[in-house]
Structure 1
Amino acid sequence: MNISTFGQDLLGGFEDFADKLNKFIAVEHDYVEGGLVVALSSQFGSGKSTFLQMWASSLENADDQGEKKIVVQMNAWESDYLGDPLFAIISALVHTIKNQNNEESAGKIINAAKDAGWFVTAIGGQVARKFTGVDPAAAADLAEKKKTKRDEDIPTDAFSLYELRRHAMKSLKSAVKDFVDKTNSGVLFLIDELDRCRPDYAISYL
């Protein structure tokens, strides 16, 4: 049985807890610069995942002011094999935006993410080629898919690499921030199974 709304909570208690949590976030967010992180901890099998599903369903419905929350649900453990959780988070955000038929905002974030993703892939390829003689980018046939501006040779000195990465990440963050700033209700990320991830991955997630 798929339990996804508070109306299906036969034992009760989850909806009251969600109301208190909503009020807590609304107040605390005014005192936090940037994003607010709240962790929920409970014993295995106590209903954390079910609560998140119920809470997400409630948040996605219109609130007292008639505004709908933008809720991004994620299972962190499903992307635990990645080295960097950033693109798993961005992918989930884009998927949610597309479901709301906001193709313009999704497109801007996707393009910025491609630039950042290309940078990471290209740098990794050059490093691997330097030390192993194997060109992963060529093996994956990525060169044919790059845009003209992404075809330029990447400098290998540390400072230039840092500047390129900083610029790519700044563009991505700017695209996400522009979208968030245009929403009246903000964006909520509900992350499940973070406690099952590798410690370094979980820390990077936060």
Structure 2
Amino acid sequence: MKYRLLELDVPSDNPFQHDALERKPLVEFLASLIGRLEGPFVLALDSPWGTGKTTIIRMLQAKLVMDQFQCVYFNAWKVDYVTDPLVALVSALDDIHLTDDGAESVFRGHLKTAKKITSAVAKRAVVAGVKAATLGILDIEEDLEKMAADAVGEVAGNLVDVFQKEKQALEKFRVEVEKAIKQLKAAGKKETLVFFIDELDRCRPTFAIEMLERIKHLFDVLNIVFVLSVDKSQLEASTAAVYGEKINAPEYLRRFIDIEYALPLARGKKFTEALFARFNLDEIFAKRTHEQLRYDRQHFIEFFSLLADATHLSLRARERCLTRLVVAMEQTPENTFLFPPLVALLVVLRMAKPDLFGALRSGIASAADVMVYLNKLPSGPEIVADRSGVILEIGLLLADENQERKQRVLTDLKKTAEDEKTKQVSGRATELLSMTRYFQNFHSDGPRLGYLLDKIDLTSGLKS
């Protein structure tokens, strides 16, 4: 049984084969946009953490490669232990291999020079503690090791000469990178290099900001388009961590980013269905062969998708919810009545509103408290007023193990329903009471909330 999903497979020859979220139109739009850009250019794809940015990036890269673009993928978070981001960026360029031998040879020659400059710059930064935007010295025709060592001494000497050498170093690096990129067209590729930088918002604040500064000051060359995958709010927090809370972080970041594109958040039950298949939950629910349980899979998917959308759970959070469901289902006999709508609600509450989930566990919160919470969500009033809300409310009520509270609420409902009958109206109380017949088909008192809470909280296996 799967408890953790591997990264979604994005075939290079069919990027949208497993596109459960129907991202194809978005990716094709972004590919078209990038195809019209003339570097240097920095495009930021903005979306909260855990919303599927990496998958979009991988689909976009595959699409661009099919369109004959040379792409480089760089996961910044995996290398944020490096002292100087420049080293990691140039190392990523080293992964490019052109199929034309002549173009490859010229490309390697210019890249070799750029790598030598990178080494000198990195050593200078480490030894002298120079700011990221103020780079080292070099004369590439001389011994770089000696130059880097000499530069340290010069910091305390003629700073004007050092500054002039730094300017030469910057210009030489940019020229060499630009000449290397020109070989893409000679190799039959589009002339623009697309450089993807993923997970930048998860890096150490200093590393993330230094990365942006390196891109701005060293890779501001023709025919390079950077595509940053970021949660802009986290990047702004990194900026404040480095430069202080008083800095205007959004304005500061505009120095580095030419245009931002806010990725639309994924919604709907197609993603839930895809997760079911990837977690092998379809097999588990297929074993629930009792006639009255045959719609359990369908009901769970519908209610989970509805509630996950309403609470704005990220894609990653939804995966974690389904991991919890997998474990819970493995502890449950195949034909045990679980009432999927209520299970879906509890799984979502455990992730989106843990304090309310805890209050249910302790017996403090009631069905009314949960419905109040749902009603406060942006789309909550529609859910509560709909048949879905009726099902959830009566399920919580009948599952309540506080018998005194449960009977008091049921008594009040019956009185209200009688009044509605007298007035010849079909109100909320009538709807709630009519729904009790659904539960009586399975269990005389409905599902037990404590049992379900234990399942969702993964503690039932610990009890004797």
- Kindly report the root-mean-square deviation, in angstroms, between the aligned alpha carbons of the 2 structures: 2.8
Kept in 1, the 8 Å contact 2:90–2:118? The answer is no
- 2:211 paired with 1:205: yes
1:126-151 per-position Cα deviation (integer Å, ceiling 9, x unaligned): x49xxxxxxxxxxxxxxxxxx85333
Q: Please report how far the alpha carbon of residue 86 of structure 1 lies from its aligned counterpart in structure 2 after TM superposition.
A: 1.8
Which of 101, 106, 109 aligns to 1:107? It is 109
Alignment of 1:56-75 (within 5 A): 56-61=61-66, 63=67, 68-75=68-75
Give yes or no for the alignment of 1:15 onto 2:24: yes
Q: Report the identity percentage.
A: 26
Cα–Cα, structure 1 residues 162 and 79, in superposed 2: closer, same or farther, change >3 Å?
farther
Contact 1:119 1:165 in 2 (8 A): no
What's the CA shift for 1:41? 2.2
The match for 2:168 is: 167
Provide the rounded CA distance (Å) in 1 between the counterparts of 2:170 and 2:89.
14
Distance across 2 between alignment mates of 1:85 and 1:99: 28
- Shift of residue 43 of structure 1? 3.3
Gaps of 5+ in 2: 1-5, 130-140, 213-464
Q: In 1, are the aligned partners of 2:84 and 2:122 still within 8 Å (CA)?
A: no
Give, in angstroms, the shift of residue 72 of structure 1: 0.4
Shift of 1:21: 0.8
State how far apart, in whole Å, the 2-side matches of 1:59 and 1:175 are: 25
CA distance in 2, matches of 1:82, 1:181: 28
2:85 corresponds in structure 1 to 85
Which of the pair has the greater relative contact order for Cα pairs under 8 Å at 6+ separation?
1
Q: Give the counterpart letter for 1:110 in structure 2.
A: K
What are the Cα deviations for residues 102-160 of structure 1, in whole angstroms up to 9, with x where unaligned? 243123212232134224415754x49xxxxxxxxxxxxxxxxxx85333544612222
- The one-letter amino acid of 2:81's match is Y
Match of 1:136 in 2: none
The normalised TM-score by structure 2 is: 0.35
Superposed displacement of residue 20, structure 1: 0.7
Distance 2:208 2:125 in 1: 24
Distance of 1:115 and 1:8 partners within structure 2: 42
- Residue 183 of structure 1 is matched in structure 2 by 184
Instruction: Provide closer, same or farther for how the CA distance between residues 39 and 116 of structure 1 changes in structure 2, counting only shifts above 3 A.
Output: closer
Pair 1:104–1:26, CA change in 2 (3 A): closer
C-alpha distance in 2, partners of 1:198/1:55?
26
- SS of the residue 2:208 aligns to: helix
In 1: Cα distance, 2:98 partner to 2:178 partner: 17
Number of residue pairs aligned between Structure 1 and Structure 2: 178
Contact kept in structure 2, 1:116 and 1:165, CA below 8 Å: no
Task: Note the C-alpha offset of 1:97.
Answer: 3.5
Asked whether the 8 Å contact 2:10–2:17 carries over to 1, the reply is yes
Whole-Å Cα distance in 1 between the matches of residues 42 and 99 of structure 2? 25
**Using a 3 Å threshold, how does the CA distance of structure 1 residues 97 and 166 change in structure 2: closer, same or farther?**
farther
* Aligned equivalent of 1:52: 57
Distance 1:12 1:21 in 2: 16
Letter in 2 for 1:112: A
Letter in 2 for 1:85: P
Task: Report the counterpart of residue 133 of structure 1 in structure 2.
Answer: none
On the 8 A contact 1:76/1:193 being kept in 2, the answer is yes
Counterpart contact for 1:72–1:92, Cα < 8 Å: yes
The letter for the 2-side match of 1:108 is: H
Equivalent residue, structure 2, for 1:121: 123
How far apart, CA to CA, are the structure 2 residues paired with 1:10 and 1:124? 44
Q: How does 1:33-52 map to 2 (within 5 A)?
A: 34-52=39-57
Q: 1:120 to 1:85 in 2, by over 3 A?
A: closer
What's the TM-score once normalised by structure 1's chain length? 0.72
- How far is the alpha carbon of 1:44 from its aligned partner? 3.1
Q: Counterpart amino acid of 2:30? A: L
Structure 1 gaps, min length 5: 129-146
